[in-house]
Structure 1
């Protein structure tokens, strides 16, 4: 697994943005989120854990970039997820190629919030 850059590539288009609240401390939530989204050994992905900003980046394939942020919230921790098309060539084809991923992301994010809550609340 290689390190992903914190900055997005020159060509990027946000495709989907989701957010939810977990009733736990932001630092605890961030650590649990990192455990859940860090690619396993052997997976072809780029990954970055940027603790100062509580940001996690998972980038794989030629078009996909997932960004996660954990922010303080009056109810605990706000977890944000942004799906970004980072295809540098044939940028227009990213959302077409990834249409199943894009369609599945809201349900997967909801499950991720459920799993996070079970770990930290």
Structure 2
């Protein structure tokens, strides 16, 4: 399994992107997200938590990378914008990543909504 870094590999494709608003402070949302996803190691993947950028990255199977960013809501006095991207990082057979991950990609919208509900 590759070492997780903030930088995406040179060969990558964003497969899906999501964003959602929460009526909570960015620091609190990031702390909850880091607790939820930050401890992954081993078979379920590896994670990287970067507090300065409020970013959590989860590197999974040979093709899968999930990036989560927590930002202050730009158009509101309070609240948080949570961004999530699923990235194909397969270095070989790049074309096969979305095929191998079709179940993950198909369930991603509902999974992201469930995560927002949990973080709220």
Instruction: Indicate whether the TM-score tops 0.5.
Output: yes
Is the counterpart of residue 103 in structure 1 residue 114 in structure 2? no
Contact kept, 8 Å, 1:3 with 1:47, in 2: the verdict is no
Matching residue of 1:83: 86
C-alpha spacing 1:4/1:40, structure 2 compared with 1 (3 Å): closer
- SS, match of residue 52 in structure 1: coil
Matching residue of 1:94: 97
Higher helix share: 1
Is the counterpart of residue 21 in structure 1 residue 21 in structure 2? yes
Structure 1 Cα separation of the partners of residues 39 and 88 of structure 2 = 19
Aligned-residue CA RMSD in angstroms?
1.7
How far has the Cα of 1:42 moved from its partner? 4.4
How far has the Cα of 1:10 moved from its partner? 1.1
Contact kept, 8 Å, 2:24 with 2:79, in 1: the verdict is yes
Unaligned runs of 5+ in 2: none
TM-score for both structures, normalised by structure 1: 0.90
TM-score for both structures, normalised by structure 2: 0.91
How far has the Cα of 1:37 moved from its partner? 1.7
The correspondence of residues 17-56 of structure 1 with structure 2, limited to 5 A, is 17-40=17-40, 42-56=42-56
Unaligned runs of 5+ in 1: none
- SS, match of residue 117 in structure 2: helix
Structure 1 Cα separation of the partners of residues 2 and 50 of structure 2 = 14
Structure 2 Cα separation of the partners of residues 115 and 12 of structure 1 = 29
